[in-house]
């Protein structure tokens, strides 16, 4: 609940900034361009400064931000899984249209009281009012822009899209990262029992709960490979408050919490295993069609091999000694040494630890 409220207010904050800016920008264009329009000008009973106009833009921006945040938050949290995308878009469009009619009528009433001018706000005024449809078109364009920014952040991670726009990854860059390879246990057996189509739905349902907690622990999903997910943190964020460990165990708890749902629908409760490692990797843009960020480096292969050793030791979470030294384990967790292991494709042995949650 605490994290949900944090998400809500974060979205509200950025929505308020965004919508206040876009409506103030719109008002500035209208304010400085109104004398160029070949229309009958409304004779105001008093001069209105640009600052006073901008206050109306801020009021409208805040109103839109509040409603936009509530709608987007509720749809993302409760309805995105239950409804089809087309129906969600249609439903949101109707809600936003009704809200624009209400909010612009309200702003017109405020403006009437302030500048003593009769604005069109009678019933059905918006049907033939070209300013209303101009604002609506502007709202749709800005809403698409804001949605694109949010989707880009979800796809690449917070702030990465701006770095890509400015060409930060045009040339390969070396960064230090924590990597987690998260894989479904007994995936081959489950796939054979469920069949391909039902198995795909099963994987969707598994990763749905992973996506609900990724941002909570400042993680990014690098990619999905079949029934495997690759997660990443920058070193500081992953070590902070043991985010890289907490994410795994909360995900494990969520799957157990919904075990009755999985048993009823699929006849099996999913269990995942994971390997954790840290080190320097190379990040670079690849491709011109379907461009994406690619990670290169030995750390990636090593993390994958660590995860594969979960079956060997019958453990759910393994971690390299190199990363463990950076973590200050709280009383919640204990590290169990498993000895030195020569991972496949490696020339030197690596010391591995199993991480257990203290009951």
CA 17/CA 1 separation, integer angstroms: 25
Q: How confident is the model at residue 317 (pLDDT cuts 50, 70, 90)?
A: very high
Q: Per residue in 9-67, pLDDT tens?
A: 888 898 899 989 988 888 787 766 554 444 344 444 445 667 777 887 888 888 888 88
- 205-214: per-residue pLDDT in tens? 999 889 889 9
**Exposed / middle / buried, residue 88 (Cβ in 10 Å: 0-12, 13-18, 19+):** middle
pLDDT, tens only, 253-284: 999 999 999 999 999 999 999 999 999 999 88
The model's confidence at residue 76, banded by pLDDT at 50, 70 and 90, is: confident
User: Looking at domain 160-357, which CATH architecture does it have?
Assistant: 2-Layer Sandwich (3.30)
Q: What are the tens digits of pLDDT across the range 25-35?
A: 887 877 665 54
SS (H, E, C) 218-239: CCEEEEEECCEEEEEEEHHHHH
Domain boundaries, the chain: 2-156, 160-357
Q: What is the pTM of this model?
A: 0.72
User: For residue range 149-168, what is the model confidence (pLDDT) as tens digits?
Assistant: 877 776 666 666 676 666 67
Task: Write down the pLDDT at residue 44.
Answer: 45
Strand blocks (E) in the chain: 173-184, 220-225, 228-234, 272-286, 292-296, 317-320, 333-341, 350-357
Which stretches within 185-295 are classed as H helix? 187-194, 196-213, 235-239, 243-257, 259-266
pLDDT at 199 over 90: yes
What is the Cα–Cα distance from 326 to 322, expressed in whole angstroms?
A: 7
DSSP string, 312-330: HHT-SEEEEHHHHTT----
CB of 273 closer than 8 Å to CB of 315? yes
Write out the DSSP string of 92-152. Answer: HHHHHHHHHHHHHHHHHHHHHHHH------STTGGGS-HHHHHHHHHHHHHHHHHHHHHHH
SS3 169: coil
């Amino acid at each position: 609940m605490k994290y949900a409220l944090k998400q809500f207010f974060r979205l509200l904050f950025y929505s308020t900034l965004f919508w206040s800016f876009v409506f103030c920008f719109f008002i500035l264009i209208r304010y400085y361009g109104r004398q160029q329009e070949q229309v009958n000008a409304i004779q105001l009973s008093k001069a209105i400064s640009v600052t006073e106009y901008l206050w109306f833009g801020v009021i409208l921006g805040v109103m839109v931000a509040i409603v936009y945040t509530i709608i987007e938050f509720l749809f993302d949290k409760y309805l995105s899984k239950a409804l089809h995308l087309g129906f969600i878009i249609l439903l949101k469009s109707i809600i936003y249209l009704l809200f624009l009619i209400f909010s612009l009528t309200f702003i017109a009433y405020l403006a009437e009281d302030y500048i003593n001018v009769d604005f069109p706000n009678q019933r059905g005024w918006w049907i033939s009012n070209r300013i209303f449809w101009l604002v609506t078109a502007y709202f749709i364009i800005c809403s698409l822009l804001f949605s694109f920014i949010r989707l880009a952040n979800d796809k690449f991670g917070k702030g990465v899209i701006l770095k890509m726009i400015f060409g930060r990854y045009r040339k390969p860059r070396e960064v230090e990262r924590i990597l987690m390879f998260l894989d479904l246990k007994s995936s081959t057996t489950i796939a054979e029992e469920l069949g391909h189509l039902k198995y795909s739905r099963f994987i969707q349902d598994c990763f749905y709960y992973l996506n609900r907690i990724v941002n909570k622990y400042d993680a990014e999903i690098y990619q999905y490979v079949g029934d495997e997910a690759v997660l990443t943190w920058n070193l500081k964020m992953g070590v902070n408050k043991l985010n890289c460990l907490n994410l795994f165990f909360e995900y494990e708890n969520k799957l157990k919490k919904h075990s009755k749902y999985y048993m009823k629908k699929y006849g099996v409760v999913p269990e995942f295993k994971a390997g954790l490692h840290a080190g320097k990797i190379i990040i670079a843009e690849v491709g011109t069609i379907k461009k994406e960020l690619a990670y290169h480096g030995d750390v990636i292969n090593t993390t994958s091999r660590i995860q594969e050793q979960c079956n060997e030791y019958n453990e759910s979470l393994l971690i390299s000694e190199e990363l463990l030294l950076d973590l200050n384990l709280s009383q919640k967790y204990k590290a169990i040494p498993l000895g030195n292991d020569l991972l496949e494709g490696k020339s030197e042995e690596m010391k591995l630890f199993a991480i257990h949650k203290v009951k």
